[in-house]
Structure 1
Amino acid sequence: MNIRKMIHAALMSSAALALAPVGAVAQQNMNSDKNKQSTQRQTMQTHNMSDDAKAHKWREMRQNAVKASEILRGNVSTGLNPVANVTNLILSKDGGEIEYIVYKTQSPIMDFYVGDGYTSFNTVDLQTSPVPGGVNVYVDSSAPVKGPEEIKITANEADKRLVSRVLDEQVELGSGIYEIEDLLINPKNGKITHYVIGSEPDVLFSDGRRTIRATEVAYRNGAYRSNLTMQDIDQDQPYEEDWL
Structure 2
Amino acid sequence: MSITTLKGSRIIIIGGSSGIGFATAQQAIEQGAHVIIAGKSKEKLMIAQEVINNNHLQTYVLDNQDKNQLQDFFKRVGNFDHLFTPGASYSLGPITATDNIAESSFIGKFWPQYYAVKYAIPFLSNSGSIVLMSGAFSQRPLKGAPAYGACNGAIESLGKALAVELAPIRVNVVSPGTIQRENEQNENRLAAYETYKSLSLVKRPGHNDEIAHTVLYLMQNSFSTGNVLFPDGGYTYH
* Structure that is richer in helix per residue: 2
Do both proteins adopt the same fold according to a TM-score greater than 0.5, normalized to the shorter chain? Answer: no
TM-score normalised by L of structure 1: 0.23
